[in-house]
């Protein structure tokens, strides 16, 4: 039964019954647990927006495989226009949630796998691409949510997979059978893992011939025997258990509800295996996934920044400082930074090109520039937010204090802002700013889709320094 509505999505998660632990205890139903519901609500927006006439063009697409209208988060990009609509959609959903809606990671994994399996088959005569097409038809028709399983724990990062003291620190094949393979390992920091249906695992880095058992791409249901998830902690995450006001963004949470996903001898049938030992393609797959994911960040982080800028503007009004010239200047700078990262996402989409598979791919150098700007600009936006909101962000009383019969009147009196704005509303908007600029959100902006060093590595590969040296030499008459 395809997932169409939010209610369908919730039902599907209950029926899935994935094995998930939080604080050492297994959670029977994540759809009713307050630690999970904000992340589920955020992901549900990807379904809800597809049903709205005004957002249908962005939130849906026509499948090039079946000709049916599908959720865009299951679509393979068929044009530059598709790449642009992707970025526009991400900003739109960020405006609705002010948080991570998680589904783009699996989307990028699908597109990278689609492109790369075509080229593996071209070289080796395998049938991975057709297998993946059949799998993709299922994802599209049922409207399932996937985790993009890229990041391995890695252990000793100075050693390649085959030389690790514990081989399981990179996910790998431990058995080949007539009916499929058995894998063991883990994927870390998996955005949306708790409330997704399946995971598409991929190599986490380029692989040598000796690492062939670690060069594996496969799709695994998250309720498969041997799959165990451990829910990660976030900044101030216990607040959502006790207070809507103190949690800042109570309905949609903070980042993406990341999990550690463990594979304890998990069986995968052959029809769900899309790379097995073709180590020379691992680096290409990683690069494509990274480019597609880095393309996103100006869209989603630009959209989230819009919410933060609006919250800061309200906070300055509530505090009676909105007309101060330095406040106007700082808000203008925040807008400039948000639009700068958004323009990067648009630019790498506009400059996208067609791959051999027919799928379209963003310009990789510009996509890396976009993500690198995010690692800087989002931090600067947060710094400016802390500046204009004031030190109260770090020291304000709790909702329980506000509601207290003993001290509530003091909180009401001394936390007040301008006349006509309730103390509660002032605290609500300040908590939202605190939530959006706290540790977890900023760390994700830094390391999601790769840390800044990974982008610098790509600059060295894609920056065409030899060509630029020749241009400079030619201009001044130097033979090179």
Quote the distance between the C-alpha of residue 167 and its chain's center: 27
First to last CA, the chain: 64
Residue 99 near residue 255, CB atoms below 8 Å? yes
Residue 364 near residue 112, CB atoms below 8 Å? no
- What are the residue ranges of helices labelled H in 277-324? 282-318
Residue 353 near residue 87, CB atoms below 8 Å? no
Give the span between the Cα atoms of 155 and 160, in whole angstroms: 10
Q: Which two tokens mark 452?
A: 């800044």
Q: Which two tokens mark 250?
A: 């109570």
Q: Which residues pair with 190 in a beta bridge?
A: 259
- Which residues does the annotation mark as catalytic? 100, 104, 191, 258, 293, 297, 300, 444
Strand order in the sheet with 273-276: 146-149, 198-201, 216-221, 273-276
Greatest Cα-to-Cα distance within the chain, rounded to the nearest angstrom: 84
Cα-based distances in Å from 136 to 43, 64, 252, 476: 20, 11, 28, 54
The enclosing H or E element of 140 equals helix 128-142
In degrees and rounded to multiples of 5, residue 141 shows phi and psi of: -70, -35
Q: Quick check: helix, strand or coil at residue 157? A: coil
The enclosing H or E element of 268 equals strand 259-269
Integer Rg of the chain from CA: 23
Between the CA atoms of 464, 466, 468 and 474, what dihedral angle is there, to the nearest 10 degrees? -150
Residue 199 near residue 219, CB atoms below 8 Å? yes
């Amino acid at each position: 039964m395809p997932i169409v509505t939010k209610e369908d999505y919730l039902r599907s998660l209950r029926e899935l019954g994935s094995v998930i632990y939080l604080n050492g205890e297994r959670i029977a139903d994540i759809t009713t647990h307050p630690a999970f519901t904000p992340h589920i609500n955020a992901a549900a927006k990807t379904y809800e927006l597809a049903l709205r006439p005004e957002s249908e063009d962005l939130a849906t697409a026509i499948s090039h495989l079946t000709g049916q209208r599908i959720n865009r988060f299951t679509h393979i990009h068929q044009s530059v226009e598709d790449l642009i609509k992707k970025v526009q959609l991400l900003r739109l959903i960020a405006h609705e949630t002010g948080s991570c809606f998680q589904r783009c990671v699996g989307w990028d994994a699908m597109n990278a796998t689609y492109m790369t399996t075509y080229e593996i088959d071209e070289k080796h005569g395998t049938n991975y691409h057709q297998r993946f097409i059949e799998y993709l038809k299922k994802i599209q028709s049922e409207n399932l949510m996937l985790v993009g399983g890229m990041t391995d724990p890695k252990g000793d990062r100075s050693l390649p997979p085959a030389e690790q003291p514990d081989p399981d620190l990179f996910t790998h094949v431990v058995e080949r059978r007539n009916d499929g393979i058995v894998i063991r390992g883990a994927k870390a920091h998996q955005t949306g893992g708790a409330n997704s249906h399946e995971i598409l695992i991929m190599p986490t880095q380029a692989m040598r011939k000796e690492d062939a058992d670690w060069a594996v791409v496969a799709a695994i249901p998250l309720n498969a025997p041997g799959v165990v998830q451990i829910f990660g902690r976030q900044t101030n995450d216990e607040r959502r258990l006790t207070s809507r006001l103190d949690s800042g963004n109570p309905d949609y949470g903070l980042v993406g509800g990341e999990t550690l996903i463990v594979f304890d001898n998990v069986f995968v049938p052959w029809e769900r295996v899309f790379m097995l030992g073709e180590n020379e393609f691992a680096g290409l797959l990683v690069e494509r996934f990274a480019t597609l994911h880095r393309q996103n960040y100006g869209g989603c982080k630009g959209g989230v920044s819009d919410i933060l800028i609006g919250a800061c503007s309200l906070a300055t009004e509530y505090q009676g400082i909105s007309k101060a010239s330095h406040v106007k200047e700082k808000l203008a700078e925040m807008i400039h930074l948000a639009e700068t990262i958004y323009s990067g996402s648009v630019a790498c989409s506009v400059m996208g090109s067609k791959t051999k598979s027919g799928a379209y791919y963003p310009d990789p150098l510009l996509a890396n520039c976009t993500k690198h700007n995010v690692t800087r600009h989002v931090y600067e936006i947060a710094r400016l937010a802390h500046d204009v909101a004031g030190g109260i962000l770090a020291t304000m009383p709790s909702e329980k204090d506000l509601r207290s019969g003993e001290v509530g009147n003091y909180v009401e009196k001394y936390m007040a802002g301008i006349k006509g704005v309730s103390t509660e509303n002032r605290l609500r908007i300040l908590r939202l700013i605190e939530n959006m600029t706290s540790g977890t959100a900023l760390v994700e902006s830094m390391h999601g889709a790769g840390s800044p060093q990974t982008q610098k590595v790509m600059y060295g590969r894609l920056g065409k320094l030899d060509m630029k040296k020749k241009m400079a030499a030619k201009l001044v008459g130097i033979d090179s």
